[in-house]
Amino acid sequence: MDIITSITNEFKLQHWQIENTVNLIDEGNTIPFIARYRKEAHGGLDDQVLREIADRLQYLRNLDKRREEIFNLITEQEKMTPELETQIEAAVTLAELEDIYRPYRPKRKTRASIAKAKGLEPLATAIMEQKPGIDPAFLASDFIDAEKGVETVEDALQGASDIIAEDISDNADIRRKLRNFFMVLGVITSKAAKEEDSVYAQYYDFSERIEKIAGYKILAIDRGEKEDFLKVSVTLDREKALDTIEKVAIKNEGLCTEFVRAAGVDAYDRLIYPSVEREIRSMLTERAATAAIKVFAQNLRPLLMAPPVKGKIAMGLDPGYRTGCKVACVDATGLVLDTGVIYVTQSERQKQEAEVLIASLIKKHKVEIISIGNGTASKETEIFVADLLKKIPEKVSYMVVSEAGASVYSASKLAAEEFPQFDVSIRSAISIARRLQDPLAELVKIEPKAIGVGQYQHDMPKKELEAALDGVVEDCVNAVGADLNTASASLLSRIAGINASIAKNIVVYREENGAFTSRVQLKKVPKLGPKAFEQCAGFLRIAESKNVLDNTGVHPESYDAAKMLLILCGYDLEDVKNNNLPKLHERIEKLGYKNLAEKLSIGEPTLIDIEKELLKPGRDPRDELPPPMLRFDVMEMKDLKPEMELKGTVRNVIDFGAFIDIGVHQDGLVHISQIADRFIKHPSEVLSVGDVVTVRVLDVDIEKKRISLTMKGVPQS
């Protein structure tokens, strides 16, 4: 297979783009590095497209490897033919290859293999020829052999039928056609497996065409079946299926033909249908999982890239009932200033004591923002905070943040190393405070799947989910960059070219030798070789460096080009440091991008990136996004009325809609049909996690804790 051409056609890109991308991947370059510093080579493809190309490259290479294996295995059996070789070369999926190999794969003991051992394969072959006027019974009489266990004509015919049925079942053409029929015309059905109400009640008498069923329904049905609430099957018009078999297997009309037709029915009912049903179920689950992983990744990206609340002293509250609400105050850099425990859900006396403590901590540490975890007792804690803020003179705002994964982190080895002096519950409060200050730096410490912005993530194939989410985390961390002198080992390990071992070595080097003063110093870090330096250097910032370029996204390989650009435009590095480049853009335009790029021996995309970095050294791309929505007051579900318009934050985007935090603890649902005035295939076309939107209340069900919202006809500011 010409993999480059195949990927080029699939992605509708230029041949040179794919060829160069594949070469860069094969040279050991990371996706963030390729995306940011090799734009000329691939034509400016973004990191997500580059990852898709890398995944497809791996699949096609695995396909070619399996193609070669199958070719060799069949050749070893001395059964290779020119027709078979053509089929193997033409296969474009692993499923097609396995269908071709099926008849030649060593089988466990089957009815057909037993019949072949009795010497009945020539009989099956003779019957399959379907010569007119020939009676199968007449042919079978020559194969009676008591010593082999073939005592009667009926025994011989049964054995021949078993062989023919297996041959029909192994026919790649039949399987391909039936699989396609199932995908287009098949129906998935689920029935109640027990008389008991459950979250799967809507699937107790459910059926839908396979080609139309949504992925989240497949995942729900799969889970319902796993928990023994549902019985699931896939059905196809049996007559259409048998007709498909006949078109391939039937040659003439006559007694032999009738025999083959009957064997075809047996093949379908006993062998093909159960096998293809399993394949289809597996394919549906895989397709649904792939889509769900994509949604999870789409949701994770904006959550990680949420704008940080910089330069503010924060208080983190990890709510709880019996064990109380854990409190942690951290300074603007995330350093722990104070901790404590309050009880806001017990007696009035304890609540008053809590007010005194929180008010004193706010005053003592000049707290400006409060971050409240959204778990158990969150609503009571939010009401407590909102009431307290009305009573104190300090101007403080708060935000309810997702605490998903906070408990996982606080009990981890990493948290124990970071905060050995604090209890597990206090570590959680520290994490919640820091999540508001810098979501990315804190969330990288947590397993991505524990962050909880998807659907059915615990049912996903672990390897594929982790690979997709790790890719998102890596892209986000590298898009922002990291301060080489303050970044944690967790954050550094996500930088291109740096693994966990090198990240720890960087931190140790920093502790032993003091702050880094230049990027070049990285080369002194143990195990950080030339390739790792090339990959990571541009993503690491050093604000304290004498060379201002060390605090930009300009790669060291382009420092000379950046300095020459400044000279040609009448500036120097001091002007960059002092942010004194008022006419840099106009001067570059006057000299001409193309002309300048040639003079500097760089590509135009690199020139454009250098210009951006010189104009904003140390810039954080998250600063250009709308800030998070902070609150000063709280509402309850009973306060909500239909037609009421509210502002809210998108917490999760899933296949059938989006959940919006409107400040009443219970997130409201905007169904996909209520998101836009136009038709949309998926909510992610309009919404992303972290978006601040205006919604209108449609319905409130306090008993079931359900809030229905709409965005239709609601102006978005």
List, run by run, the mean pLDDT of 10-residue segments along the chain (717 residues): 92 97 97 96 95 95 96 95 94 92 89 95 96 93 93 96 96 91 93 92 95 92 95 93 94 92 96 93 92 88 87 93 93 93 91 95 96 86 90 91 83 89 92 91 85 72 87 93 92 95 96 95 96 97 94 96 96 93 94 95 96 90 75 76 89 90 86 93 90 92 90 88
* Structural domains of the chain, ranges and CATH numbers in brackets: 3-104 (1.10.10.650), 111-186+236-299 (1.10.3500.10), 314-470 (3.30.420.140), 512-624 (1.10.150.310), 637-710 (2.40.50.140)
How many CB atoms within 10 Å of residue 331? 14
Q: How far is CA 162 from the centre of its chain?
A: 45
Stated pTM of the model: 0.80
Strand 230-235 versus strand 325-330 pairing type: unpaired
CA distances from 358 to 185, 555, 634 (A): 63, 46, 18
How would you write 411-449 as a 3-class SS string? CCHHHHHHCCCCCHHHHHHHHHHHHHHCHHHHHCCCCHH
Rg (CA), the chain: 33
Both tokens of residue 103?
């008849």
Both tokens of residue 600?
């500097």
217 SS3 class: helix
Burial of 49 (0-12, 13-18, 19+ CB in 10 A): middle
In 555-610, beta strands by DSSP E? none
Looking at residue 564, what is its pLDDT?
97
Pick from 452, 442, 509, 459: nearest CA to 291: 459
Looking at residue 225, what is its pLDDT?
95
Residue pointed to by tokens 């704008």: 307
| Residues in Cβ contact with 179 at an 8 Å cutoff, skipping those fewer than 6 apart | 95, 276, 279, 280
Helix ranges (DSSP H) in 366-499: 378-391, 406-410, 413-418, 424-437, 439-443, 462-480, 489-492
Looking at residue 634, what is its pLDDT?
65
Torsion of CA 376, 382, 383, 386, to 10 degrees: 170
Pick from 309, 342, 248: nearest CA to 440: 309
204 SS3 class: coil
Strand 325-330 versus strand 314-318 pairing type: antiparallel
695 SS3 class: strand
Beta bridge pairs of residue 338: 329
Residue pointed to by tokens 């992610």: 684
